[in-house]
């Protein structure tokens, strides 16, 4: 059954975020031959038409009116005007900090349901199955959608991206948005790493066992060699070793990298809630009874200050 699907893409630091391609890949599945349309915010949104076309977007609505950093309030208003014009059957976007904010507002305006934080989207006949992780990743819930209109957000790193070139025509959309209460003048990042934690393929995370802010240095060196992002447990953040922007877990970021290296992290349930769906987990802990070893694919019992530099050296020799 073909559907009209609108994918809301995201630009970060001058690049389309990978979750945009994941949403287009999932959207193509859902469109099932129907029109796949992209919307993108930013002063140069039009220039991404060709890149989006490689993943099946047949049309791009470039919304540039609010400049490089539109507020979520602006995006919600602009998207609801676009939706009234094109009437999609589904709206998909990344479960990113902005997607999490925009999608519920949009669903409410559209008067439709929202399926948030999906880790899978499959189509069988007329049905679309959205999978979500529940109970901190201990169980999975499958929601079925057949007809009407739906809004959904997709957790980054959960859809294998595939290309399907289409001819994309870029149209500039001019929403009429008034009375904005907030204007973003500049964005100052708290983390120095270039790799976005929520989309990273490899994460090196440190816990209280790292012992100090300086203790994170060997982790950063390992991350640099691997092209990884650095993450942390809440205890590490609470202790002032690193910024809260790095926190992974129930009250931090939920991540799904290909490789998660946990250093000096005990494996509390609240931490596991943010990383237990990682594809491969390596845990380094000097306590052989640490709960993190129950979910680790590779367990290294040892002092992280000895093990991490050894790993860095070994990877340097094989990767550089």
Q: Length of the chain, please?
A: 320
Name the closest residue to ligand FAD (Cβ). 249
Decide: is 270 part of the binding site for ligand FAD (CB under 6 A): yes
Closest Cα partner for 196 from 35, 23, 10? Answer: 10
- Phi/psi at 40 (5° precision): -145, 135
Closest contact distance (angstroms) between CB of 112 and ligand FAD is 31
Q: C-alpha distances in angstroms, 126 versus 31, 84, 234?
A: 11, 24, 43
Whether 36 contacts 56, CB under 8 Å: yes
| Segment 192 to 231, residues that bind ligand FAD, using CB under 6 A | 207-209
H/E stretch holding 11 reads: strand 11-12
From candidates 38, 170, 204, 236, binder to ligand FAD by CB under 6 A: 236
Tokens representing 179 are 């009375």
- Choose between 52 and 261: whose C-beta lies nearer to ligand FAD: 261
Closest contact distance (angstroms) between CB of 12 and ligand FAD is 23
Decide: is 259 part of the binding site for ligand FAD (CB under 6 A): no
Is the Cα torsion angle 249, 104, 146, 122 positive or negative in sign? negative
Q: How far is the C-alpha of 167 from the C-alpha of 108, rounded, in Å? A: 32
Q: C-alpha distances in angstroms, 307 versus 105, 114, 134, 294?
A: 47, 45, 34, 20
Decide: is 126 part of the binding site for ligand FAD (CB under 6 A): no
Which part of the chain contacts ligand FAD (CB under 6 A), choosing from 58-66, 157-165, 168-176, 259-267?
259-267
List 37's β-bridge partners, or say none. 6, 59
| Segment 20 to 49, residues that bind ligand FAD, using CB under 6 A | none
Decide: is 137 part of the binding site for ligand FAD (CB under 6 A): no
From candidates 265, 281, 283, 296, binder to ligand FAD by CB under 6 A: 265
- Phi/psi at 153 (5° precision): -115, 145
Decide: is 285 part of the binding site for ligand FAD (CB under 6 A): yes
Closest Cα partner for 277 from 320, 248, 306, 303? Answer: 248
Closest contact distance (angstroms) between CB of 282 and ligand FAD is 12
Q: Which residues are annotated as a binding site?
A: 208, 233-234, 247-251, 264-271, 285
- Choose between 151 and 273: whose C-beta lies nearer to ligand FAD: 273
Q: C-alpha distances in angstroms, 261 versus 4, 104, 142, 191, 228?
A: 40, 33, 29, 19, 10
- Choose between 27 and 137: whose C-beta lies nearer to ligand FAD: 137
- Choose between 180 and 213: whose C-beta lies nearer to ligand FAD: 213
- Please report, as ranges, the residues that interact with ligand FAD according to CB under 6 A: 207-209, 233-236, 247, 249-252, 264-266, 268, 270-271, 274, 284-287, 290, 303-305
């Amino acid at each position: 059954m073909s559907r009209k699907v609108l994918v809301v893409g995201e630009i970060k630091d001058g690049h389309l975020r990978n979750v945009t391609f994941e949403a287009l890949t999932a959207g193509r599945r859902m469109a099932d031959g129907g029109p796949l349309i992209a919307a993108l915010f930013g002063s140069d949104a039009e220039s991404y038409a060709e890149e989006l076309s490689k993943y099946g977007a047949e049309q791009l609505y470039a919304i540039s009116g609010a400049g490089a950093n539109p507020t979520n309030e602006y995006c919600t208003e602009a998207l609801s005007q676009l939706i009234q014009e094109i009437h999609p059957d589904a709206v998909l976007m990344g479960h990113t900090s902005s997607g999490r904010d925009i999608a519920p507002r949009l669903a409410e305006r559209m008067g439709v349901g929202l399926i948030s934080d999906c880790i899978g989207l499959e189509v069988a006949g007329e049905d679309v199955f959205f999978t979500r992780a529940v109970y901190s990743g201990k169980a999975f819930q499958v929601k079925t959608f057949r007809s009407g209109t739906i809004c959904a957000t997709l957790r980054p790193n959960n859809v294998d991206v595939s290309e399907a070139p289409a001819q994309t025509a870029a149209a500039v959309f001019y929403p009429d948005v008034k009375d904005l209460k907030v204007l973003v003048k500049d964005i100052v990042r708290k983390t120095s790493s270039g790799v976005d934690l929520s989309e990273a393929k490899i994460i090196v995370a440190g816990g209280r066992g790292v012992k100090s802010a300086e203790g994170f240095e060997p982790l950063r060196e390992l991350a640099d060699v691997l092209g990884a992002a650095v993450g942390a447990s809440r205890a590490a953040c609470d202790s002032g070793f690193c910024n809260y922007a790095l926190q992974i877990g129930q009250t931090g970021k939920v991540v799904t990298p290909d490789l998660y290296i946990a250093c000096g992290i005990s494996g509390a349930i609240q931490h596991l809630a943010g990383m237990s769906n990682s594809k491969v987990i390596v845990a380094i802990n000097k306590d052989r009874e640490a709960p993190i070893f129950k979910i680790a694919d590779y367990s290294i019992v040892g002092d992280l200050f000895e093990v991490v530099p050894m790993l860095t050296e070994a990877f340097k020799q094989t990767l550089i």
